Structure 1
Amino acid sequence: MQKGDRSSATEPDEGEAIAAVANADPAAAERFVRKHAGWMLAVAMRIVRDAHHAEDAVQNAFAKVFDNIGGFGGRSALKTWMHRIVVNESLMLLRKTNRSQTVAIDELQPVFDNNGCRIEDRWMSMETPETLLMRSDIQAQVNGKIDLLPDNYRIILVLRDIEELSTQEVAQLLEISEANVKVRLHRARAALKRLLEPLIRGQAV
């Protein structure tokens, strides 16, 4: 859902801004924070799902950015580089916290009959979790259902389908195999689809 945000071309004055921040210019640092804090906080919130923890993750990310921006080589867009930092800081903070009120992922997986055919009502093809998430009028409800997934599945769903990281990037961040990422993503999508049945059917959640 964030496609384009992290892959945009480098702005003409970006090099000057990076140099000013690297040289510890207080005014430049303040402008830099104002420019990037909003989207960074949104990314952190999607991962940690807690305002205070998200703010901590962003503060940690800015500290890491300021410490390392002098060595930013420009091999990728600045925002791409910063996005990876805030995602990593959010994941590190999430590992230190415990969440509750999640659902058992196995209970939300597809059901098959004796012939191995998937049992699924016809109405399940009316909407998809991704199209529902793009609807601003019900985003909060969809996000609430995503938050019910166990973290080891929720995080992969968020990183792949919302932050639009590649399977390889997610595997590297989480230190698991790409095959594991694909399996968990498949199960997370199936579980979310089951949680969203009322919305898919056009009913209130």
Structure 2
Amino acid sequence: MPNPSERPKNDDSDAELVRAINSGRQDLFYELVTRYEKTLYNFGLRMCDNPSDAEDMVQDTFLNVLKYLKGFRYETKFRNWLYRVATSACLKKKRRSKFAPDKEISLDDFLPADESAVSMDLPRWASQPLDQVLDEELGGVIRQALMELPEKYRLVIVLRDVEGFNTQEAAEILDLTPTNIKVRLHRARLFLREALKTYYESD
């Protein structure tokens, strides 16, 4: 049994923990799981909107992490790499799920014809982090609006506005250019603004 004094401290970086695991400390993999299982579950829930699918996604993610951890490149942030694995697992799970919609909507059917002409004055909820708003009075309305977004837009707004990744990190996770991330984020935010117009205009 490993000496407890050899166990990485709680404040050790993800990279140090991964190095320890890859050096033979397989007993520490559970610590990696406990660091991220809750946030990954919430990510899966926001993408799939189904607790069972979210749980399966978390399990699939950690199975893939265990399988591919030896190939982790330490110049990459582990959290970014983890969410790339999770995104792949989430999309695969969502497409197999019985809860998946028959087809996705097109944002073009809901956004104004001239996006540049839309006032970008933000409603009062938009000054708060989206993850906080989701737990407040608008939570159910915003969650429903998020689920109506096509997954490529929902992924971007969840990664940027809920999970807190910056543009470059989101681009790395989704294998897109930063410009594509900015465009998708802009359109996703516009959609949410339009979807919630009735609420904030009467506020």
What TM-score do you get using the length of structure 2 for normalisation? 0.68
Q: In structure 2, what is the Cα distance between the partners aligned to 1:111 and 1:195?
A: 15
Query: Which runs of 5 or more residues in structure 2 are unaligned?
Result: 1-9
Q: What are the within-5 Å matches in structure 2 for residues 125-204 of structure 1?
A: 125-127=122-124, 129=126, 131=128, 133=130, 134-135=132-133, 136-137=135-136, 138-171=138-171, 173-174=173-174, 178-201=178-201
Taking a change above 3 Å as real, the CA distance of residues 126 and 42 of structure 1, as seen in their structure-2 partners, is closer
Higher helix share: 2
Alpha-carbon shift at residue 53 of structure 1 (Å): 1.8
- Percent of residue pairs identical: 23
In the alignment, is residue 90 of structure 1 matched against residue 90 of structure 2? yes
Q: Distance in 2 between matches of 1:117 and 1:43?
A: 30
**CA distance in 2 between partners of 1:111 and 1:13 (Å):** 47
Q: RMSD value over aligned CA atoms?
A: 3.7
Q: Which has the higher contact order (CA 8 A, sep 6+)?
A: 1
Give the alignment's TM-score, normalised by structure 1.
Answer: 0.68
Query: 1:182 Cα deviation (Å)?
Result: 3.4
| Matched residue, 2:24 | 23
Indicate yes or no: 2:46 matched with 1:46: yes
Please tell me whether the aligned partners of residues 81 and 173 of structure 2 are also in contact (alpha carbons under 8 angstroms). Answer: no
Match in the other structure for 1:5: none
Contact in 2 for aligned 1:65/1:85 (Cα 8 Å): yes
SS of residue matched to 2:39 = helix
